[in-house]
């Protein structure tokens, strides 16, 4: 489990002390994102644990002065151009998957959200270890399929294919469609390299589209649009023609290494204060404890399980407050 990994890793004793003193983050989640009047649930997670694996939770805790209570939209940083809640999943579905993973190191998604969506969510909350866990789940073969290396059901393959356009559209890189024809080969290569480094998930989407091939209408459509992304896709298509890349799909266990990210969180900018990661998190915990001194603590808040509260319509709102490129674990070689 993730907790055990943190306790057994470097700085495990310090993490254990923070965990013992940690307040609980409380996240109010609507039962249905489109129908908030149906009520909500409260998802709880120790602040020390969430901050140990997620830069987004670190940001929230550092910015919080009135307690550790947030809306789900705060966690998702909604509206967020790089995350669009899919109709198949709600805020609560993603958060439950995340919290359960923290305690078990396993992703229980119950088919409400796909591994690819979970990967996207992990990027949004800045949880690299969670990103890699989602990718490994994505690479697992379907136990009911006779073929090795298939995605989890045919629907998953279709979902990835259909998601390629959304992945590219939401990247913070301008598509030089009008000017790309004026660039020389070296300039185009620089742009392609920038796109490849922007997101492991983006690179994965390119490779999935290239593996599916131009016989697919969506892939052909992407090529026909022209511009930078079309150039990137065309190059991945050429690369995919080499036999060694066609042997297994991008999501196969033998190929996922190049999409894994560095699981260490970046150090916070300390400036002249020279705060290191440990002092920052310790400061968060101290601030939380001070802010909640007068609040009754739940007797079971430190138990390793997900805790919920449900509010029916009409109840008073309880929560008014609140790559650098990874060192690639498997170098791509053309």
Give DSSP secondary structure letters for 142-187: PTT-SSTT--SSHHHHHHHHHHHHHHHHTSSS---TTTGGGS-HHH
Nearest of 145, 140, 94, 97 to residue 121 by alpha carbon: 94
Q: Over the chain, what is the mean pLDDT?
A: 68
Residue spans per domain, the chain? 2-140+261-311, 156-252
Tokens of 47: 């602040």
DSSP state of 248: S
Does the pLDDT at position 170 exceed 90?
A: no
Q: Check: CB of residue 150 under 8 Å from CB of residue 141.
A: yes
Tokens of 161: 């294919």
Does the pLDDT at position 53 exceed 90?
A: yes
DSSP state of 44: E
Q: Check: CB of residue 197 under 8 Å from CB of residue 323.
A: yes
What pLDDT, in 10s, does the model give residues 121-165?
898 899 999 999 988 887 776 533 434 333 444 444 555 555 555
SS3 label, residue 242: coil
Mean pLDDT of 89-100: 84
The whole-angstrom distance between residue 164's C-alpha and the CA centroid of its chain comes to 16
Distance of alpha carbon 310 from alpha carbon 41, whole angstroms: 5
What pLDDT, in 10s, does the model give residues 246-298?
677 787 778 888 889 898 887 654 333 444 444 444 444 444 444 444 444 44
Given this model, what pLDDT does residue 208 score?
Answer: 81
Does the pLDDT at position 189 exceed 60?
A: yes
Tokens of 17: 């002390």
Q: Check: CB of residue 299 under 8 Å from CB of residue 204.
A: no
CA distances from 5 to 16, 128, 259, 277, 312 (A): 11, 14, 22, 18, 38
Residue bearing the bigger pLDDT, 307 or 62? 62
Given this model, what pLDDT does residue 214 score?
Answer: 82
SS3 label, residue 46: strand
* Least confident interval from 6-20, 213-227, 255-269, 305-319: 305-319
Distance of alpha carbon 211 from alpha carbon 205, whole angstroms: 10
Nearest of 168, 172, 145 to residue 156 by alpha carbon: 145
Mean pLDDT of 15-43: 79
Given this model, what pLDDT does residue 147 score?
Answer: 43
> Which of 43-47, 61-65, 161-165, 268-272 is modeled with the greatest confidence?
43-47
Q: Check: CB of residue 212 under 8 Å from CB of residue 151.
A: no
Residue bearing the bigger pLDDT, 42 or 156? 42
* Least confident interval from 77-81, 107-111, 324-328: 324-328
**Rounded (5°) CA angle 152-196-162:** 35
Does the pLDDT at position 74 exceed 90?
A: no
Percent of the chain with pLDDT over 90: 5
Mean pLDDT of 167-173: 53
Does the pLDDT at position 83 exceed 60?
A: no
Phi, then psi, of 122 in degrees rounded to 5: -60, -35
The runs of H, that is alpha helices, within 36-127 are 47-53, 55-63, 72-76, 91-104, 115-124
Given this model, what pLDDT does residue 204 score?
Answer: 84
DSSP state of 236: H
Contacts of 159 by beta carbon, 8 Å cutoff, 6+ apart = 114, 116
Distance of alpha carbon 224 from alpha carbon 213, whole angstroms: 14
Percent of the chain with pLDDT over 70: 57
Contacts of 107 by beta carbon, 8 Å cutoff, 6+ apart = 97, 100, 101, 115, 118, 133, 134, 137
């Amino acid at each position: 489990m993730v907790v055990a990994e943190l306790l057994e890793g470097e700085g495990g004793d310090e993490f254990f002390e923070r965990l013992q003193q940690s307040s609980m983050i409380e996240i109010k989640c609507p039962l249905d994102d489109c129908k908030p009047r149906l009520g909500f649930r409260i998802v709880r997670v120790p602040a020390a644990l969430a901050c140990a694996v997620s830069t987004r939770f670190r940001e929230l805790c550092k910015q919080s002065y009135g307690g550790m209570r947030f809306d789900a939209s705060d966690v998702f940083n909604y509206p967020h151009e790089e995350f669009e809640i899919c109709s198949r999943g709600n805020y609560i579905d993603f958060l439950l998957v995340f919290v359960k993973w923290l305690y078990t190191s396993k992703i229980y998604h119950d088919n409400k959200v796909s591994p690819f969506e979970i990967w996207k969510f992990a990027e949004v909350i800045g949880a690299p270890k969670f990103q890699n866990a989602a990718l490994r789940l994505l690479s697992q073969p379907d136990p009911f399929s006779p073929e090795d290396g298939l995605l989890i059901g045919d629907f998953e393959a279709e979902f990835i294919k259909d998601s390629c356009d959304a992945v590219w559209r939401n990247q913070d890189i301008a598509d030089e469609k009008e000017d790309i024809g004026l660039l020389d080969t070296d300039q185009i290569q620089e742009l392609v390299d920038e796109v490849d480094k922007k997101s492991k998930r983006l690179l994965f989407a390119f490779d999935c589209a290239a593996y599916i091939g131009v016989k697919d209408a969506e892939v052909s459509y992407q090529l026909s649009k022209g511009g930078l992304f079309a150039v990137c896709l065309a190059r991945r298509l050429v690369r995919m023609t080499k036999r060694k890349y066609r042997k297994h799909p991008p999501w196969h266990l033998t190929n996922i290494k190049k999409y894994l990210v560095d699981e260490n969180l970046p150090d916070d900018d300390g400036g002249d204060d020279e705060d290191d990661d440990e002092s920052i998190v310790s400061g968060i915990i101290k601030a939380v404890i001070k802010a909640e001194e007068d609040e009754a603590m739940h007797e079971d808040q430190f138990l390793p399980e997900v805790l919920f509260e449900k509010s029916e319509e009409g109840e008073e709102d309880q929560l008014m407050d609140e790559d650098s490129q990874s060192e690639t674990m498997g170098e791509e070689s053309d």
